[in-house]
Amino acid sequence: MQIYKFNKTEFNGVNAKLLYEDKFSKEICLSMTKNSFMKEHFAPNPIKIHVLKGSVEFCVYNEKVILNELDMIALGSMVKHSLKANEDSIIRLSLSLNDTFSRVKEVLNK
């Protein structure tokens, strides 16, 4: 048995760390410093975004919602979205096995 810690992160812009992968999915820890953002992008497969700490402004099709601590949202494939941290935030990003961590890193480098 292994424990995966989402709180072992640094706050310096937007960072991503692959914590776990099995035959079904990938679990990624995103850390976002207050006022940092991820530009509009999409995932080729369904995703889940779960705010573990902090608060994030989440924009889908120009509709903005605030995701607070312990809120989660699920998106289908190819849904354009963006994120902005309202405060230092830790986010659990769940990807389909068919998606790649390298794609997430590319989004961060835009």
Residue 3 in any domain: the answer is: no
Placement of tokens 């601590």 in the chain: 69
CATH code: domain of residue 65: 2.60.120.10
Amino acid (one-letter) located at 46? P
Residue 40 in any domain: the answer is: yes
Residue 93 in any domain: the answer is: yes
Residue 6 in any domain: the answer is: no
Number of domains in the chain: 1
First to last CA, the chain: 36
Domain span at residue 78 reads 14-108
What's the rounded mean pLDDT across residues 94-107?
93
pTM: 0.92
Residue 2 in any domain: the answer is: no
Tell me the per-residue pLDDT of 17-76, one tens digit each, with 9 for 90 and over. 999 999 999 999 999 999 999 999 999 999 999 999 999 999 998 899 999 999 999 999
Segment 11-14 long-range contacts (CB within 8 Å, at least 24 positions apart): 11/88, 14/38, 14/85, 14/108
For residue 110, pLDDT over 80 is answered with no
Placement of tokens 């006022």 in the chain: 35
